[in-house]
């Protein structure tokens, strides 16, 4: 007889690219910020902004709920403009019970979008955080700006964890033309992981809880699990990709030209497959692609219900589905 899930202490860790969560104020220091104002290209009104906050908070509140019966403990976010939108987000009625705080740093991205880290203050206590600046060059040898990686370590339900929130360079200029950028970001990420974990404890799953080195890498990688940046750049260095098997012909975290991709992934160190007393361990991963997040009619039926398609306002959630992993405590 199986043990009911409520018999375990369980926590959800999620990642969600929320598709351009901008406020309605024009920030003169942000290149494309004026698009997201009332008289800008996107006609971004306060009503549309508040509707977006309501929808994103509703989605977050349900990620992993069927497994754990509670809101996510940690949510990595992509395409966040600033601290104001994060403050507005965590104050939404659907998230008030989550007791959320957040960590955010402004990055040099030319679109003015960053990554961020939401956490339930009752179950996660941050010890340290910093933005990891990614250094890339274009063909002319000039700085090519992209999002920083957000690094946070702390204690999650009694277990030390190291978490990296990512949003890697896009494929806008072509998959092959931009592949080297994502491979280079993977290299720089691993360089930091090796510096923090010189003894490579992340590959060991039998260390006492406070001697272990558990690492979680989440993000929108703009690559699929089988691409070089993930398959060659990350996984051989002590990591598994429990989200990889979720991608198939009919399913993914985003859809481009009627083809599913799984750019949104959660990678875990091998140490998180353990039976160490009191430690968290990986239980399962999934895409949160509930019907409420989908287009329900027309030729895009079943795809993510987007906020915008080009300049056309659709009033949906995001062009990505969230992904999540459930961790149990031994």
Domains with residue ranges and CATH for the chain: 8-329 (3.60.10.10)
More confident residue, 328 or 298: 328
Q: What whole-number distance in Å separates Cα of residue 187 and Cα of residue 176?
A: 18
CA distance 221 to 99: 28
Length of the chain: 330
Banded model confidence at residue 169, pLDDT cuts 50, 70, 90? very high
The mean pLDDT value for 219-236 works out to 98
Tell me, what's the pLDDT at 142? 78
Confidence of residue 164 (pLDDT cuts 50, 70, 90): very high
Q: What percent of the chain has pLDDT over 90?
A: 84
Q: What is the mean pLDDT of residues 184-205?
A: 98
Instruction: Measure Cα distances from 78 to 14, 70, 291, 311 in Å.
Output: 11, 22, 22, 20
Percent of the chain topping pLDDT 70: 95
Of 110, 10, 103, the residue nearest 63 (C-alpha)? 10
- Answer yes or no: is pLDDT of 35 > 80: no
Examine the pLDDT at 3 and tell me if it is beyond 60: no
Residue 39: is its pLDDT beyond 80? no
pLDDT at 41 over 90: no
**pLDDT at position 139, please?**
73
Q: How confident is the model at residue 147 (pLDDT cuts 50, 70, 90)?
A: very high
**pLDDT recorded at residue 1:** 43
**Looking at per-residue confidence, does 172 or 270 come out higher?**
270
């Amino acid at each position: 007889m199986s043990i009911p899930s409520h018999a375990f202490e369980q926590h959800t860790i999620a990642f969600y690219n929320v598709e351009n969560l901008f406020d309605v104020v024009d920030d003169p220091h942000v290149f494309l910020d004026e698009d997201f104002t009332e008289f800008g290209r996107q006609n971004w009104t306060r009503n549309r902004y508040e509707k977006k906050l309501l929808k994103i908070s509703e989605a977050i509140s349900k990620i992993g709920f069927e497994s754990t019966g509670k809101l996510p403990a940690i949510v990595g976010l992509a395409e966040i403009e600033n601290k104001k939108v994060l403050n507005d987000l965590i104050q939404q009625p659907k998230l008030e019970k989550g007791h959320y705080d957040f960590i955010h740093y402004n990055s040099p991205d030319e679109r003015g979008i960053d990554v961020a880290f939401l956490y339930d203050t009752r179950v996660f206590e941050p010890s340290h955080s910093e933005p990891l600046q990614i250094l890339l060059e274009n063909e002319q040898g000039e700085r090519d700006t992209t999002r920083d990686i957000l690094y946070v370590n702390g204690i999650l339900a009694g277990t030390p964890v190291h978490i990296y929130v990512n949003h890697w360079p896009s494929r806008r200029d072509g998959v092959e033309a931009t592949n080297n950028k994502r491979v280079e970001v993977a290299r720089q990420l691993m360089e930091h992981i090796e510096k923090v974990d010189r003894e490579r404890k992340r590959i060991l799953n039998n260390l006492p809880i406070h001697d272990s080195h558990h690492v979680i890498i989440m993000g929108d990688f703009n690559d699929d699990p089988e691409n070089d940046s993930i398959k060659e750049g990350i996984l051989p260095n002590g990591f598994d990709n429990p989200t990889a098997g979720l991608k198939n012909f009919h399913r993914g975290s985003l859809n481009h030209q009627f083809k599913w991709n799984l750019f949104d992934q959660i990678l875990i160190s091998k140490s998180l497959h353990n039976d160490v007393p009191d430690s968290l361990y990986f239980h399962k991963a999934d895409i949160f692609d509930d019907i409420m997040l989908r287009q329900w009619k027309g030729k895009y039926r079943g795809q993510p219900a987007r906020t915008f398609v080009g300049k056309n306002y659709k009033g949906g959630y995001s062009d990505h589905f969230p992904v999540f992993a459930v961790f149990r405590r031994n």
